[in-house]
Chains A and B, each alone.
Chain A
Amino acid sequence: MINITHINREEALRYLGGAGEPDGRMLALLDEAEAALLKAAKPKYLYRVTDLPCDWLSQGEDIKKHLADCDRAVVLCATLGAEADRLIRVSQISDMPRAVVIDALASAMTEQVCAQVDRLLAEQMEGCYFTYRFSPGYGDYPIELQREFLRFLDASRKIGLTVTESFLLTPAKSVTAVAGISGEPVPRGRRGCAVCSLRDTCAYRRKGSHCGFQNLT
């Protein structure tokens, strides 16, 4: 089961502008926001293993490269649930600074949920090797596949995760991804700026930095 008692503040602070060490005012905001979010968020996830090659899954060059050395793949999704979205929405009316802090913490928490799912998978499939997670929208991997991912996982029925007609996940603090599985050690694949569709506009990149995506395992 997913169990998160602390949210990765370092990552959240990066989303909030990354201005070095937070002062007392920021810390107070973070404490309150973190407590509220941990109360509202109800992390849920699903995964399902499929054999490779798999036509619907392997659209575009980037994903083919990513899964090249694998004989199976695990398709997964995770969400913080509708209450987390609602908390952010309400805060935007009553307290905007709080809203942006909760929003950033929620993004960080979503990644933490995924990391826990990664660990869970590693335990369940001992002896297997995994690539990094790869999501619709990375590189040339079509965002339209969100819908197929959710259908494959029966996600709307099982965990209430759906996608809009413009392929936004709802609830918003959610992720879909696929990771390759192999019996042999495999390269974990490229992550970070190279496959990021925001690389041309990214404020971090312009300043020679990055959002942290690169360092995730």
Chain B
Amino acid sequence: MIQKSGAKYDHSPETLNITSPELIASFHRAYIDAGADVVYTNTFGANSYKLGGSGHSVEEIVSAAVGIAKNAAGGAALVALDIGPVGMLCEPAGTMTFEQAYGFFKEQIEAGCDADLIVFETMTDLLELKAAILAAKENSDKPIIATMTFERDGRTFTGVSPAAFALTASGLGVDALGVNCSLGPDELEPVVAELTRYTDLPLVVKANAGLPDPNSNEYNILPDRFAECVEALLPYGVKIAGGCCGTTPGYISKLREMLADKRYTPSPRTADTSVCSASRVVEINAPRIIGERINPTGKKIFKQALVDNNIDYILSQALVQLKGGAELLDVNVGHPEIDEKSMMVRVVKAIQSVCDAPLQIDSTKPEVLDAGLRCYSGKPIVNSVNGEEKSLSEVLPLVKKYGAAVVGLTLDENGIPKTADGRFEIAKRIVERAEALGIDRRDVYIDCLTLTVSAEQEACRQTLEALHRVKTELGCKTVLGVSNISFGLPNRGLVNSTFLTMALEQGLDLPILNPNIEVMSGAVRAFRVLSGYDKNANDFVAAYNDAPPAQPAAKPQNGETDLSTAVYSGLKNEGAAATEKLLETEDAMAIVNEKLIPALDRVGADFENKKIFLPQLIQSANTAQACFEVIKKHLAKSGGAGVSKGKIILATVKGDIHDIGKNIVKTLLDNYGYTVIDLGRDVDPQLVVDTAVEQNITMVGLSALMTTTLKSMEDTITLIRQTKALQNPDGTSKVRVFVGGAVLTADYAMKIGADYYCRDAKESVDTAKLVFGE
């Protein structure tokens, strides 16, 4: 309407609420006269980010807009506070944090508190929508409608599926959800059908009037056809119909006519209990593996990774489990030496930035669960609640608030009941308590607990019996960690896989296991074929028939590759093998200094002289790393000194998210034998300083890609220099800072207080050698 009226505005259409209130009121009246029951305020982009520079505050514009709509409606229609996306992308695609998004929405919601309901529309990012819904829930008691906008491929711009949206928004407690904008009503059927499969809520359809003609800007679906198309969607449980782009009052009056004799028919969800990330839904309608490897218990390297903030290691654990066949991942980062809460947030965010498997947030501390649940994009599983009163009263409200599923452990104040009956009773109690809070019992996954069979042989039968009863009598899904069963026995793999198969036959839905052990993930795959879940054995065949052919390796005739050749050609396995061979006759440090490093240097020189490409340099570096691993293991066995040549912090500065350059530097430094503490991208200066102080690190590398983020680089260096703990007694700085990035020059680097300017990854290594000595 605003476009059609030709009204001129300075900054954004929302300023018309101040400059032309009568015009906006006339639009509202036109729609109400056409039969609208609800009008949206003219506040789609009225957040403090988008209004920046408009000369008006959010409070001013939003309250004016609500006032205009209320007056125009005069009680004849409801007024919805309309809120669109902030206009910046949330992490990880962008830099906006969950808390920032929450802050923008909260401000709008408070300013619009006189509206009758709150509408979030045209949303494309699930985490941003979650921030919006929570901001509404925590700062208002008005009903909430959430609609997202889907492209022709059935996804939003950021890859959110209708199913993931329906699951997440329903869980967070909106009152209705649906779709707006983007497509015409003739193309929305698949989206609406998918939404209704995953929610009991009433649906909203607010389509465009088809597509605009690029030249005339006229839309191609006329009012009669528009109403017809919407009518066809009503059986999916559509309760609220309306129009988005191009739908003038004429469209609304046709809708009104069509709806005159229609009644809303609820359409309950048909999908089984499901969990999701933003882009992937896992329906628990067949046995699904939960990967157990993201957990420090009993894992030395994992613990060290937590202490060192080595997020990449944790991420590689995530990816390798998915490759092994896990469909969900358990995430536990409990370790006494770290702040579990902030680590949980970092790890959840990081995992969600590289993989789309739904996560199971695992902690014994409610505040850690809360923090992990809050920043999670999608519908996760909480691990866990148990039959103890304290646990029930602390954990279940979190599960309800964030719309998660939950693992219920069949133990309580008195420990683990010996009998199946005892465990069943606890399961029943957990389910009753969950339902009393409004949690669907289908979202409670019961763990009947595996005990060690060598200690108590009868226990195995009790577990399986309890599991069977929970499944059939309570109608809950079941979850079970399986590998405990075999402690103290030889051939544990055999015992584990046999027990797993028995449990699956009793109705186990969610085995928690190490998917990288083939016999375990293989048992689940085979079970799915034999029980008819894996139709035509498609998944099974794909897993075993499409195994990638072995890497062709250029091996010389004698079957061995010498170390230099392996490193130069980037042949990882050959490099490791050659290193092992050399260790039989040569000193470890001699191999490093006389073979590995020179080979890497040759590769570096060839890269500089444009004889090879960057990926080849990195492949060589990775090969060298494989060789270092072999040497590290050897030294650990023989009790020799470590090979770390020094610790270095790397960070892409605050505001900057282009981190591929920093990551290349990291790969090279790693592979030259330095220990890199990678703080990631968009890093706060304080985090750099705190890490340096905590871990007593004297070399810091910073990268920035844009001229606009060089300021953050300068701020970081300044903070490092000012920090007393990082100064020598004479006040000079202990820390050597090297910087790099596309827009930096050596002069500028010196001007902002850096010690070294590194043009590329190779120069960073040269600088490290200079600082730590060869």
Give me the interface of A with B, judged by CB distance under 8 Å: 13, 16-20, 22, 25-26, 29, 42, 81-83, 85-86, 88-90, 92-94, 96-101, 103, 124, 137, 143, 151, 156-157, 159-160, 162-168, 170-172, 197-198, 200-201, 203
Q: Is A168 a contact partner of B706 (Cβ separation < 8 A)?
A: yes
Contact partners of B355 in chain A: CB under 8 A: 90
Q: Is A100 a contact partner of B745 (Cβ separation < 8 A)?
A: no
Of the candidates A81, A93, A97, A143, which one forms a contact with B707 in the assembled complex, judged by CB atoms under 8 Å apart? A143
Q: Which residue of B lies closest to A94 (CB)?
A: B319
Residues facing A in B125-168 (CB within 8 A) are 153, 156-159
Shortest Cβ-Cβ A-B pairs, 9 listed: A160-B157, A166-B655, A97-B615, A170-B94, A170-B89, A166-B708, A16-B613, A164-B95, A97-B618
Contact partners of A171 in chain B: CB under 8 A: 89, 93
Beyond A17-B617, A124-B214, A170-B95, 16 extra complex contacts between A and B, CB < 8 Å: A19-B612, A42-B153, A86-B354, A93-B316, A93-B319, A96-B667, A101-B615, A143-B706, A156-B87, A157-B85, A162-B89, A164-B94, A164-B655, A166-B655, A170-B94, A197-B743
**Shortest Cβ distance from residue A110 to the other chain B in the assembled complex, whole angstroms:** 14
Q: Taking each of A17, A83, A94, A151, which has the highest tally of chain B beta carbons within 10 Å of its own beta carbon?
A: A17
Q: Is A13 a contact partner of B743 (Cβ separation < 8 A)?
A: no
Q: Is A26 a contact partner of B613 (Cβ separation < 8 A)?
A: yes
Contact partners of B353 in chain A: CB under 8 A: 86, 89
Q: Which residue of A lies closest to B149 (CB)?
A: A157
Chain B positions 9 through 45: 1 when the CB is less than 8 Å from some CB of chain A, otherwise 0:
0001000000000000000000000000000000000
Contact partners of B622 in chain A: CB under 8 A: 96-97
Q: Is B319 a contact partner of A165 (Cβ separation < 8 A)?
A: no
Give me the interface of B with A, judged by CB distance under 8 Å: 12, 50, 84-85, 87-89, 92-96, 122, 124, 153, 156-159, 181, 214, 312, 315-316, 319, 353-355, 569-570, 607, 610-619, 622, 655-660, 663-664, 667, 705-709, 712, 742-745, 759-760
Docked pose: A20 CA to B616 CA in angstroms = 13
**Shortest Cβ distance from residue A40 to the other chain B in the assembled complex, whole angstroms:** 10
Q: Is B616 a contact partner of A25 (Cβ separation < 8 A)?
A: yes
Contact partners of A165 in chain B: CB under 8 A: 88, 95, 655
Q: Is A201 a contact partner of B743 (Cβ separation < 8 A)?
A: yes
Contact partners of B315 in chain A: CB under 8 A: 93
Q: Is B354 a contact partner of A90 (Cβ separation < 8 A)?
A: yes
Docked pose: A101 CA to B613 CA in angstroms = 10
Contact partners of A26 in chain B: CB under 8 A: 613, 615-616
**Shortest Cβ distance from residue B695 to the other chain A in the assembled complex, whole angstroms:** 23
Docked pose: A130 CA to B745 CA in angstroms = 34
Q: Is B660 a contact partner of A17 (Cβ separation < 8 A)?
A: no
Contact partners of A168 in chain B: CB under 8 A: 95, 655-658, 705-706, 708-709
Q: Is A92 a contact partner of B157 (Cβ separation < 8 A)?
A: no
Q: Which residue of A lies closest to B315 (CB)?
A: A93
Q: Is B84 a contact partner of A18 (Cβ separation < 8 A)?
A: no
Q: Is A83 a contact partner of B159 (Cβ separation < 8 A)?
A: yes
Docked pose: A70 CA to B548 CA in angstroms = 57
Q: Is B744 a contact partner of A92 (Cβ separation < 8 A)?
A: no
Q: Is A18 a contact partner of B93 (Cβ separation < 8 A)?
A: no
**Shortest Cβ distance from residue A56 to the other chain B in the assembled complex, whole angstroms:** 10
Q: Is B613 a contact partner of A19 (Cβ separation < 8 A)?
A: yes
Q: Is B157 a contact partner of A159 (Cβ separation < 8 A)?
A: yes
Q: Taking each of B615, B655, B657, which has the highest tally of chain A beta carbons within 10 Å of its own beta carbon?
A: B615
Contact partners of A101 in chain B: CB under 8 A: 615
Q: Is B619 a contact partner of A97 (Cβ separation < 8 A)?
A: yes
Docked pose: A99 CA to B712 CA in angstroms = 26
**Shortest Cβ distance from residue A87 to the other chain B in the assembled complex, whole angstroms:** 10
Could you write out 16 A-B pairs with CB less than 8 Å apart?
Answer: A16-B615, A25-B569, A81-B157, A86-B159, A93-B312, A93-B319, A97-B570, A98-B615, A100-B614, A143-B707, A156-B87, A162-B88, A164-B89, A165-B655, A171-B89, A197-B743
Docked pose: A157 CA to B84 CA in angstroms = 9
Of the candidates A93, A98, A137, A160, which one forms a contact with B124 in the assembled complex, judged by CB atoms under 8 Å apart? A160
Docked pose: A143 CA to B103 CA in angstroms = 26
Of the candidates B87, B89, B354, B656, which one forms a contact with A166 in the assembled complex, judged by CB atoms under 8 Å apart? B656
Docked pose: A165 CA to B655 CA in angstroms = 7
Once A19-B612, A25-B570, A94-B316 are accepted as A-B contacts, the answer to whether A164 and B660 lie under 8 Å apart by CB is: no
Q: Is A200 a contact partner of B615 (Cβ separation < 8 A)?
A: no
Docked pose: A188 CA to B709 CA in angstroms = 32
Once A143-B708, A168-B658, A170-B657 are accepted as A-B contacts, the answer to whether A100 and B157 lie under 8 Å apart by CB is: no
Contact partners of B50 in chain A: CB under 8 A: 151
Docked pose: A19 CA to B157 CA in angstroms = 36
Once A19-B612, A167-B706, A168-B656 are accepted as A-B contacts, the answer to whether A198 and B742 lie under 8 Å apart by CB is: yes
Contact partners of B615 in chain A: CB under 8 A: 16, 26, 29, 97-98, 100-101
Docked pose: A94 CA to B353 CA in angstroms = 13
Q: Is B706 a contact partner of A99 (Cβ separation < 8 A)?
A: no
**Shortest Cβ distance from residue A195 to the other chain B in the assembled complex, whole angstroms:** 15
Q: Which residue of A lies closest to B615 (CB)?
A: A97
Docked pose: A90 CA to B316 CA in angstroms = 10
**Shortest Cβ distance from residue A82 to the other chain B in the assembled complex, whole angstroms:** 5
Contact partners of A18 in chain B: CB under 8 A: 610, 613
